[in-house]
Structure 1
Amino acid sequence: MPKIIVMADLHIVPETELSHSLDTNARTQEAIAFINKNHADADLLVIAGDLADHGDAASYRRLKDLFAEIDLPYVVTLGNHDNRPNFLAEFGDVADPETGKMDRSVTLDGCGIVILDSSEPGVGSGRLSAAQLDWLSKRLADYASMPVVVVLHHNICPLHNQNDRIILEQGEELVEILRGHPDVRTVVSGHVHMTASGTYRGIPFSNFAGNHYSIEPTLQSLSGPLPAPVQRREGPGQIAVVIVDQDSAVVIKENFLDRHLVLAQDLFPTKQRDPEKLSEQARPATVPA
């Protein structure tokens, strides 16, 4: 049975720039080196969205150089900070012809791995189209006799904190489809910049902090009504290690970077950038993740 590594929330920026005071290029290099050293036996690396902080072409060109350092086979999907046309212009026409998005399915040692593209232009929350949900149903039918692991950028259900306003919009529809399969082992997501795990309508899920800053997981009952400010930390920088065997799927959150410095609130302004300078699709979200 397979071992899968998941990265997310790289937030690469053009050379000489930082993202909220963080050198995301260096952090991604550190994550890749950590994976190459410690998980050379993994079957697949899934890079689950928010690849570029502002979806610009220069950042995707920089990302190509970073990806050249990866020793494992890898698959990429997109998040709400990404710009699909800019990504495809740099990486080639790799969108799925059925859905027009970065959806993939891979069979590894008797396990089905389904990767969904939950990005939507100009929208912080995630969306899955009707075509994607139909595509998912077909893939699950293909994997009817084997366990399945699902990976996407956005979390599938509320986590009772400030990020609940930017979760996947079709979480209920997605889970209803997943419940039709006899052996969905887990759904792995980034996006929220924090760790969480549980079940949603009987489907196990696991979120991990990713490569960018981390959000202090303050419950809404403590932070007050939305949109209250959230505390962010420099770390940890984190990957998810998914190990599937005959009876289980274990998701281990491993830190490749352990600094936990609290970042100044003024590093996170909520004012939108000039709309004339960014396309609607590349415009960054004004939400914590």
Structure 2
Amino acid sequence: MTGPLKLVVMSDLHLVPEGEVSNTLDTAARLRAAVDSVNTHHADADLCILAGDLADLGEADAYRRLQCIVAPLTVATHLMLGNHDDRPTFLKVMGEDHADENGHVQKVIDIKGHRVILLDSSEPGLVEGKMCPARLDWLAARLDEALDRPVIVILHHHVLPLSMPVDSIILRDGPALVDVLRRHPDIRQVIAGHVHITTTGVWKGLPFTTLAGGHYNVSVNLPGHADTQDRLEGPGQYAVILAEDDACVVHFENFLDRHPVIAPENFGRLRAPRR
């Protein structure tokens, strides 16, 4: 292995068709800023993973726009789905070869002595995530094939409960997923988007991380917290994972640092045209 494995993970892009914004945010401009940041600061990365919620409402025009915006990325890019995505539309635009034999958008990548598993946690019609028996069996088989190397798992939905409102849309099958993951002796990181906030934690000895992503952020809102939960314009953030033989660290690169609160009336409805 020459140097550490370097992965860039973006999430929650929420792209919209030309001329529209999502909750007042120009998500296309934000993604362009993220692409410029990666090309400027992390062109040496081995992979860039776009970990779901690629489109705001799963429209074909949004996926076609995604193709154009990420085309300048100098890093090999892999796509995943989240609850805002539409799997049939995504596959029609991006290609049926993104799906496995069960129709899930997931894969393994063996690189620099590591196995990177991109796990599809999206389920049509659900905001929360799901791990069906087919996906758990697929994951178990992929882990058993890689007992001789460390594993990094990336999925859209958070697994570890955060004691925040977003737990209402958590991965439904978290305990079952953890039981499968624990069959492997060296899970270095399980990283997700979905929650629009940066967190780290441990569950049954496994490390879990979430990144804030490219869309709006949420403020901390724990039990007993005196304030309501705000949704903020920033930061726009992606994760950078550095993994070596005996270590794995996750950094967070903020490509946008604006943090004003977005007014509540800009949520609870569909998008508006750009002003």
What TM-score do the two structures reach when normalised by structure 1?
0.90
Gapped runs of 5+ residues in structure 2? Answer: none
Match of 2:94 among 79, 91, 96: 91
Runs of 4+ in structure 1 off by over 4 angstroms are none
Question: Could you list the per-position Cα deviations for residues 81-119 of structure 1 after superposition, in whole angstroms to 9, with x for gaps in the alignment?
Answer: 000011111111123333311111001110000001111
Q: Is the 8 A contact 2:160 2:201 kept in 1?
A: no
- Look up the equivalent residue of 2:102 and give its one-letter code: T
What is the distance in 2 between the residues matched to 1:99 and 1:114?
Answer: 16
1:120 to 118, 123, 129: 123
Counterpart of 1:94 in 2: which secondary structure?
helix
Aligned length: 268
Aligned partner of 1:8 in structure 2 is 11
Matches within 5 A, 1:268-287: 268-269=267-268
> How is 1:1-289 mapped onto 2 (pairs within 5 angstroms)?
1-222=4-225, 230-269=229-268
Residues of 1 paired with 2:125 and 2:265: CA distance?
A: 23
Mean CA deviation greater in 7-16 or 57-66: 57-66
Contact (CA 8 Å) 1:98, 1:135: kept in 2 or not?
no
1:215–1:230 Cα contact (<8 Å) kept: yes
Aligned residue type for 1:209: A
1:20-46 Cα shifts (integer Å, max 9, x gaps):
000000000000110011001111111
Aligned-pair identity in percent equals: 46
Residues 16 and 27 of structure 2 are in contact (CA less than 8 Å); yes or no, is this contact kept in structure 1? Answer: yes
Structure 1 Cα separation of the partners of residues 221 and 105 of structure 2: 32
Secondary structure in 2 matching 1:26:
helix
Does structure 1 retain, via aligned residues, the 8 Å contact 2:55–2:62? yes
Distance in 2 (alpha carbons) for counterparts of 1:6 and 1:204: 16
Paired letter, 1:146? R
The residue identity in structure 1 corresponding to 2:130 is R
- Partner-residue secondary structure (3-state), 1:199: strand
Q: Which residue number corresponds to residue 281 of structure 1?
A: none
Using the TM superposition, give the Cα deviation of residue 243 of structure 1 relative to its aligned residue in structure 2, in angstroms: 0.5
TM-align CA RMSD:
1.4
Distance 1:55 1:260 in 2: 27
Secondary structure in 1 matching 2:9: strand
Q: Helix, strand or coil for the counterpart of 1:31?
A: helix
- Inter-partner Cα distance in structure 2 for 1:99 and 1:152: 17
Shift of residue 121, structure 1, vs aligned partner: 1.2
**Residues 215-246 of structure 1, C-alpha deviations (whole Å, 9 max, x = no match):** 0021133269xxxx621100000000000012
Structure 2 CA distance for aligned equivalents of residues 85 and 72 of structure 1: 26
Q: 2 CA distance for matches of 1:100 and 1:242?
A: 28
